[in-house]
Structure 1
Amino acid sequence: MYADALLASHPRSGGRWLRYLLAHYLAAHHRLDVEVTPQTVFAVVPDHHEEGPRGYRAFQFRGRRNLPLAAVCHQPYSWELHRGYPVVYLARNAYDVIVSAYVYYTQEKPEYSGSMRDFIRHPRLGLGPWIEYVNSWAPALLTHRDAVLLSYRDLNADPEAALTRVLGFLNQAPDPALVQATVRTAGELRSARGIRTGQEGNFWDHLQPDEIFDIQERLDRGLSKHAVHLLQSMGVEVDPFPRDD
């Protein structure tokens, strides 16, 4: 199955919130016979893969006129999987991603019990996969002619404006009243179900200075020039303690 567009984001970067907003709007606007919940959201906005209960097999509205198929993508960029797709790329700063991931893997889906310092260096859960993800997408996005770059800061500060941008990119004429209602309804559902969110810069309240410096040094060594340029162009913080060269 070929998606109309990809919603690309690294886990813990706001992708779940964006998926909920888009699914709620599309379900209401196109009068889909589905109540959007954490279990049914994939029927409207699936993952970008064929296998599993969240992939394209979950999408229930093939053939619906004017209904876009937007698929969520968490994989690092590859030519085979992602070339040619219009892309909404959502990025969040690495410091807040690490804090959110640590909470997730120690409290919401407990499979880690070590320190934050060791978590940052964890080969599967920590900072390395985020660096790999951004490095892989940056060269393609910097030359992509059909992409929307969206920061978590923008999504969190003004979800109505962010959703409006995404809908326009998907060739949907946004209904301002429905956009407003969607943000309110999806927000109420998110709060009722305990879906955790964080403010931009939340890491200052959760990371020790040595942990911040550790992330900073790893970003300095690991991020490509393309990745740094991409993130900075989006207003995504790379270095909270910029130093003169």
Structure 2
Amino acid sequence: MFSSAYKYKVNQWYFRPTDVFLASYPRSGNTWMRLLLSDVIQHLGGEKTQPGGNVIPDVYKVDIEDWYRNPRIKIPFRIIKTHEPLALISDYRIIYLFRHPADCLCSYYHYQLRSPRFRENNSGIDGFCQNLINQWCGHINGYLEAAKTGSDRLFLVSYESLNINPVESLKNVCNFLDLDITEAQAQIAVNNQQFRQVQTLSQRGDSQTLGFAENGGYQNFFRRGQINSSTQELSENTRTIISHKSQDIYNQIRELESQQLTNINSN
């Protein structure tokens, strides 16, 4: 949907019933969560961890079967990054990351600016965000409707919650995955994968330490990582259009996220 369709189709033949998908619309915190979970996975495997060190594959870029022959990955299931809509992965366990649409789309715009073709033909940040807000709504809505059924195979995580309390968010995700981690282990992962530290790795182009290579380089990959940064970039008209189309959907999915957390804390 958003990247190499060929690689995705090849990998799709080898999906397993036990696979877990780390899903999101682009620029919603997927890579940060991959790094946090990778830190936990390696820590549970007895390794000393450091900034970077991703061990969770991107379904659009690598051969999943080859990737998971890595003996360092010592959990009994595979976690796979994807940006696909729910309809294509609905039979699997899913962690769904979502982000306020204005921030998400602004970040996506700057990510796309890495492409010379995009730079030549783009209509500016306001036009880009206005053109994609319906796509964002459609992506979110599929997962929202599934969450409304109370499915125990879908876990919601907002970028906002992850940003404000990453230790708690990481522990909750690990609980969903049945990975038994301590508060101290979660804190180590968060300390290792702080935004500025992984941003520094990306600015150096250190793909080996990061654990993933990025087509077109890493510029603007870890850009700001802030909440409400879009208010400084978008016109009032664009913010109004985004709010009109998406605020109800966003509010609903945040409420369902809150309900999930309440259920976790009450058990």
TM-score bucket (shorter structure)? 0.7 to 0.9
Shift of 1:67: 4.2
CA distance in 2, matches of 1:120, 1:90: 19
Q: Show CA shifts across 1:38-66 (max 9, x none).
A: xx62xx2123x4x7416454223479654
1:27 corresponds to which residue? 42
Q: Percent identity?
A: 23
Task: Answer with 21-30 or 126-135: which moved more.
Answer: 126-135
Matched, 1:53 2:62: yes
Q: Does 1:191 align with 2:199?
A: yes
Give the count of matched residue pairs.
Answer: 219
Q: Distance in 2 between matches of 1:6 and 1:12?
A: 16
3-state SS of 1:199 partner: coil
Question: TM-score when scaled to structure 2?
Answer: 0.70
Return the letter of the residue paired with 1:219.
Answer: S
Aligned-residue offset at 1:133: 0.7
Does residue 98 (structure 1) correspond to residue 105 (structure 2)? The answer is yes
Please give the secondary structure, in 2, of the residue aligned with 1:196: coil
The AA in structure 2 aligned to 1:229 is: Q
2:144 matched to 1:117?
A: no
Residue 135 (structure 1) aligns with: 141
Aligned to 2:228: 201
Unaligned runs of 5+ in 2: 1-14, 204-221, 259-267
**Pairing partner for 1:75 from 78, 84, 87:** 84
Counterpart of 2:262 in structure 1 is none
Aligned with 1:90: secondary structure? strand
More helix by share: 2
Match of 1:174 among 174, 181, 203: 181
Deviation at 1:19, TM superposition (A): 0.7
- SS of 2:193's partner is helix
**SS of the counterpart of 1:88?**
strand
Give the Cα–Cα distance (whole angstroms) in 2 for the partners of residues 60 and 209 of structure 1. 50
- Equivalents in 1 of 2:49, 2:181: separation in Å? 20
> d(CA) in 1 for partners of 2:159 and 2:191?
18
